[in-house]
Amino acid sequence: MNIRKKMAAGIASLLLVSLMVGCNSSNDGGGATDGGAQKNVTISYTIWDKNQQPAMEAIADAFTEQHPNIKVKVDAIPWGEYWTKMSAAAPAGMLPDVFWMHGGQFMKYAEGQFLEPITDKVQANEIDLNNYASNLVSIYTMDGQNYGIPKDFDTIGLAYNKELFDQANIPYPDDTWDYAKLAEVAKQLSQPDKGIYGFGAKLDTQAGYWNDMLANGGFILNDDMTKSGYDELASIEALKARYQMILDKASPTHQQMTDTDSVEMFKSGKLAMIFDGSWDNGNLASSEIIKGKYDWAPLPKGKVKRGNIINGIGNVMSTKGKHKDEAWQFLKFLGSKEAAEITAEMGAAIPAFNNTQDAWVKNNPDLNLQVFIDQAGDATPYPSGSKSYPVWFSKEAEIMSQAWGGAISIEEGAKKVAEMMNQAIEGAK
């Protein structure tokens, strides 16, 4: 009995000691670096695209070379969990020092005062926002305050597998194509018994049917962002046309594309054509199977115009960061020409910094990346900038998956989405 008690006491005191040691060491982390202008700090930079992580790390390294006392830790959280994590981190005061911002989420974070305004730095000429296209700057502006520095922009292109076209003896897509041609060729290229399909008529917004809806004369949100355009006849018609490709067996089914994403199917040579964003070129290029066998074309023309969604990521910093001066230095560097050039040369994304886009295009001379730059001119901005976006955007996919999976009709789905969006807009007022 006595021995047992002694042992228990021993274990308990061991535990206590280790607890205390634990506390101490965590205190050290913050305290040891106090004092001195050149204190060593590590700041966090969080992004959502793993494919861009090498480029972002290269930028961070270039920055540390200039500021040896500031280290940058780059973390990639997948898009699917990114905003869940951020929404938990924001009220806890745990947002990363610097992180990627999306136009749809921006207002929620800016209004909540989680983002550090940079207006005074702009006025002090620490940074020149004229270096970026003005419509990209305006995404991250609220009530006259600037919060973000544009990182890149993206448009959508039609990626096609040259090999599958060659085998079928069909000329490659070009800027004369319209949606009817797309559907026709997709049917010709499909060999469902071999698991090869002409087009990935996927349930997707930005790189999916939003472009179809715009091209057909529909819209996603009206100009003052008060009403959904999903129940417009032109929008419904466009959605039906896309879904028809699944019924025609010109595209894999929704289930097949849920099991294996259409981008992955394209990467494994099973899909002849997909819509995809400029940001994803690095991902496509990483596939050994289609390397050198794919290229890009502009999106097809619709009844009214060539639809295309343009969007841009911004870099922002947290108001609650412990090292705001250092974070600002890094944010500024992210907006520099040097960072843009690294982004372009590593093929990560189309940089937002004026006149650095060419490097991105030239970096892949075998690919017709110019289509992304050319389409930017008359592209439609991503329908963000409303407070209700985070709500309706996630519910949209849930309702549309019922339609895409065949549980309800496309028309019913579109009308349900419109109703839900209008309610969300009303609720966010």
Partner 1 sequence: MHSKSRYIWAYMMIAPTLIGTLIFWSWPAVYSIYLSFLKSENFGLVNHWVGWANYERLFMDEEFWQNLRNTILYVVLFVPTTIILSTFFAVLLNAKIKGQAVYRVIYFLPQVTMAAAAAMVWVIIFAQDYGLLNSVLGTHIAWISDKRFAMYALVMVGVWGAIGFNMLLILAGLQGIPRTLYEAAEIDGAVGFRKFRSITLPLLTPTLFFTSIVLVIGATQIFDSIYLIIGKTNVALPAVRSLVYAYYQNSFIYYDQNYGAAIVNILLVINLVLTGIQFMLQKKWVIYD
Binding site for partner 1 (CB under 8 A): 5, 8-9, 12, 15, 84, 87-88, 90-91, 108, 111-112, 114, 195, 203, 254-256, 258-259, 390-391, 394-395, 397-398, 401-402, 404-407
Which of 91/171 has CB closer to partner 1? Answer: 91
Q: Output the smallest distance, CB 390 to partner 1, in A.
A: 6
Dihedral sign computed on CA atoms, order 285, 290, 296, 301: negative
Contact at 8 Å (CB) between 228 and 422? Answer: yes
Residue number with CB closer to partner 1 (109 or 165): 109
Partners of residue 45 on adjacent β-strands: 74, 98
Query: What's the CA gap between 298 and 304, in Å, rounded?
Result: 16
Phi, psi of 143 (to 5 degrees): 50, 40
Half-sphere exposure of 232 (CA within 13 A, CB side): 18
CB of 93 to partner 1, least distance (A): 10
| In the complex, minimum distance from the CB of residue 84 to partner 1, in angstroms, rounded to a whole number | 5
- DSSP per residue, 262-287: HHHHHHTT-EEEEEEEGGGHHHHHT-
**Least distance from partner 1 to the Cβ atom of residue 397, Å:** 6
Task: Map tokens 């309800």 to a residue.
Answer: 408
Q: Is 417:213 a contact under the CB 8 Å cutoff?
A: no
Q: Scan for tokens 């869940």, then name that residue.
A: 84
Distance between CA 392 and CA 424 in Å, rounded?
6
Nearer to partner 1, 12 or 23 (CB): 12
Please, what is the minimum distance in Å from the beta carbon of residue 195 to partner 1? 8
Distances (CA, A) of 379 to 135, 202, 360: 12, 21, 19
Query: For residues 102 and 306, which CB has a smaller minimum distance to partner 1 in the complex?
Result: 102
C-alpha–C-alpha distance, residues 9 and 284, integer Å: 61
Q: CA 409 to CA 394: how far, in whole Å?
A: 20
Compute the least distance from the CB of residue 218 to partner 1, in Å: 22
CB of 95 to partner 1, least distance (A): 11
Judged by DSSP in three states, 347 sits in coil
The distance of closest approach from Cβ of residue 255 to partner 1 in the complex, given in angstroms and rounded to an integer, is 5
CA distance 254 to 262: 10
We find the least distance from the C-beta atom of residue 111 to partner 1, in angstroms, to be: 7
Nearer Cβ to partner 1, position 381 or 406? Answer: 406
For the chain, first and last CA: distance in Å? 69
Measured from the CB atom, the residue of 387 and 415 that comes closer to partner 1 is: 387
Toward partner 1, which CB reaches closer, 179 or 404? 404
Nearest CB to partner 1, comparing residues 254 and 306: 254
Q: Give the residue from 78, 48, 80, 42 showing the smallest Cα distance to 60.
A: 42
**Considering only CA atoms, which of 155, 154, 157, 149 is closest in space to residue 59?**
149
Residue 31, judged by CB atoms within 10 A of its CB (0-12, 13-18, 19+), counts as exposed
Closer residue to partner 1 in complex, CB, 138/253 = 253
Strand partners, 296: 159
Supply the DSSP symbol for 129.
G
**Between residues 15 and 180, which has the closer beta carbon with respect to partner 1?**
15
State the nearest-atom distance from the C-beta of 41 to partner 1, in Å.
26
Among residues 21 and 32, whose Cβ is nearest to partner 1? 21
Smallest gap from Cβ 394 to partner 1, in A, equals 5
Using CA atoms, how far apart are residues 281 and 267, in angstroms rounded to an integer?
11
Q: How far apart are CA 393 and CA 390, in angstroms?
A: 5
